[in-house]
Chains A and B, each alone.
Chain A
Amino acid sequence: MKIKKNYSYSGYLYILPWILGFLLLQLVPLVNSFWYSFTNFQLLGKAQFLGLDNYKKIFLSDAVFRQSLKVTFYYVLIAVPLKIAFALVIAIILNQNIKGINLFRTLYYIPSILGGSVAISVLWKYLFMNQGVVNNIIGRFGIGAIDWLGDPRLALGTVSLVTIWQFGSSMLLFLAGLKQIPVSLYEAAKIDGAGRMRTFWSITLPELSPIVLFNLIMQMVQAFQEFNGPYIITQGGPLKSTYLLPLYIYDEAFKKFNMGYASAIAWVLFTIITVLTLVAFWSSKKWVYYAGDKRN
């Protein structure tokens, strides 16, 4: 009995750094921001308790929030499915036995290492601006300059491309998943006379569905919090067409110093992400297949 106690004691000691970090750097700010969301905390000066006023303003009278929420949903709806689909297609291609395949795998992963960094965003701006590289190239084919980032109808799509382009980590997961699919299943399908498409829909995709679920949730959570790209490339413009909620939170918090209001928006965003994650989990019963499950 005594030995057991000692073990648990030293175990806690090992995780103490993490626990401390979590308590001080995550839990405290989390609780604070929840409290601030009910106040008019301004960073400088004292906070006053406002009750639900911040939340009322968000849902009832804040047109900027509505615009920002709309744009955020569009962004997630564009970026996440395309990124996952793209990652899957590339993963299937890279799963072939081609010479030098490892080189290609590395190459396709590079964008993810570069990540949503500031430098990439600046690069993106110069690629897609009016006199940018992209317009230069299409100009050679006689197509006039397009305002990729200046046209309110196109800017969000262009900014989403940065995210989609970083499909590497999803791709890697798919690639690992593809390797796990038993070859016997494909052989059986072949004997039954299934074509490539049929094999994909009936074997590859169901076998990969747990990874699709994982990627969906991770990418969705990330996309809802996207900040770097739109902040650096378009600063939320033109006409707030790329003004994602994190940008709005940032502006309220660090430009106007309405920390209380910004915290309230952040908690609304957090709730949205949580609900959608739960929906994804709940719906997964219907479409995710785990090895050993029986399908109807």
Chain B
Amino acid sequence: MKKLLTVLLVALLLTGSLFAAGSKESGAQAGPVTLRVSWWGGDARHNATLKAMEAYTAQNPNVKLEGEYGGWDGYYQKIVTQIAGGTAPDIIQIDQPWLAELASKGDVFAVIDNTMVDLSQFDAKFLEDYCTYNGKLMGLPTGTNVNTFIVDTKLLSDFGIDPNTVWTWENMISEGRKINQKDKSAYFSGATPDIMRFWFEVYIAQLAGAVVDNNKRVAFTEAQGTEAFTYLKRWFDEGIVAPFSQTSLFYQKFQENPTWINGKMATSWDWVSSMDKDIGARKSFETRQYPVMANAVNTGVLMRPSQIFVVNNNSKNKAEAIKLLNYLFTDPVAIEKLGTERGIPSTVIGRSVLAEKGMISQMAEKATNEGIAQAGDPQSVYQMNSEVIQTMQDVIDEFGFGKLTPAQASAKMIKSLEATLASL
């Protein structure tokens, strides 16, 4: 038995020393540098990014770049697990709400300053509002992303609705209901339960400024909540939106709903950065501005970086990683190769290079300009917190399935949000 133990221990020690040797080796690299870059996206973004990376390695033969890319599903989980396990890539593309969520858990991201990257290329307020945590710049915004309201102009006119309608909360119902009245399987809005949550957030923003404010407090009253839910209930009652029993299967992917794909839903809340993917093979889409009620406190129209590139604070090659970022953001060759795959660039040089080459699509440019013109206050980090979002979603689901009246939904929303906020 003793012998067995010795053998086991020796074996364990051996495997342990193997791991140790492996990590030591990668730390000792001096000349050639390997940088891992991770992002999510579709094929077009993958190809564009890989091409830009190739251009960089052509100029910097000592640097080897490895792309780690895939779809959106599970990306966040993968990144957090990698950060926790100390195996995260050197450069990471993150979604804006994650910045605060992850930075609050420790020094996960490297701090970036003017000596490393020419920050004058970026809008200072944009950097401060969206890429800064505790006064430190943690990442660089890839592009400007805004909410837009996409409408299928042909579908609207087919149902006798003026495609150039300027939308108000009221005419979304009075005009929008014409679609379902004529065709029971068609709807004005393609909203799934998660998109209904966005509409709720827009409506509350206009009524009360925000769902959750910067002081970690629920910012709307029960009466205001009831008003919002009463309005949204009319969407269900008047056939503006399909029942949740038909759309809940497409949570977070309304664009996969066959009713949407087959052109039986006319409009959607959307981000400019994902509208091309959402519109897919459908034709005749245009973008519109959001309805804004008289005396709105805040438009609820969101503007934020499409994504943010951060540098892993544990990276062995932080300086090299930031150098690569600088290249991707400011070099004309890289800008051209990346195109608008991450939205309209957030750098001055990025926009001018792409405009010169005619690479910004008119639709994206119009949507972005109109969105920026309409954009309201940024949401608080608490409202963007994933647990707060889940709490809102749970109540919206119950409401949408008809389990709660507008008044009950409002009361429950406030109570659940308070409980969640207290636990953060």
Contact = CB atoms under 8 A, between A and B. Distances in A.
Interface of A: 9, 12-13, 16, 19-20, 23-24, 42-45, 125, 129-131, 147, 149-152, 233-235, 237-240, 254-257
Contacts of B77: 254-255
Contact of B397 (A20, A238, A255): A238
Contacts of B15: 20, 24
B403 interface: yes
A32 to B, nearest CB: 13
B403 A239 contact: yes
B258 interface: yes
Nearest to A9: B3
B205 to A, nearest CB: 25
A44 B84 contact: yes
A45 B245 CA distance: 40
B130 interface: no
B365 interface: no
Q: Per DSSP, are chain A's interface residues mostly helix, strand or loop, or mixed?
A: loop
A239 B395 CA distance: 9
Given A20-B12, A239-B398, A257 B80 contact: yes
Nearest to B259: A131
Interface residues of B, number: 36
A149 B243 CA distance: 13
A44 B258 contact: no
A235 B251 contact: yes
A44 B83 contact: yes
B245 A147 contact: yes
Interface in B389-424: 390, 394, 397-398, 401, 403
Interface stretch (B100-108, B233-241, B324-332, B370-378): B100-108
A45 B105 contact: yes
B7 interface: yes
B12 A150 contact: no
11 contacts: A16-B11, A42-B105, A43-B80, A43-B81, A44-B84, A129-B258, A150-B246, A234-B248, A239-B397, A240-B394, A255-B77
Given A44-B102, A151-B245, A256 B84 contact: no
A238 B390 CA distance: 14
Interface of B: 3-4, 7-8, 11-12, 15, 76-77, 80-81, 83-84, 102, 105-106, 108, 193, 243-249, 251, 258-259, 386-387, 390, 394, 397-398, 401, 403
A256 B387 CA distance: 7
Nearest to B85: A43
Contact of A130 (B8, B246, B387): B246
Contact of B248 (A13, A24, A238, A257): A238
B358 to A, nearest CB: 39
A186 to B, nearest CB: 49
B81 A149 contact: no
B7 A44 contact: no
Given A42-B105, A129-B258, A237 B251 contact: yes
A197 B409 CA distance: 55
A150 B77 CA distance: 26
B80 A44 contact: yes
Contacts of B251: 235, 237
Contact of A19 (B8, B248, B258): B8
A234 B252 CA distance: 12
A238 B244 contact: yes
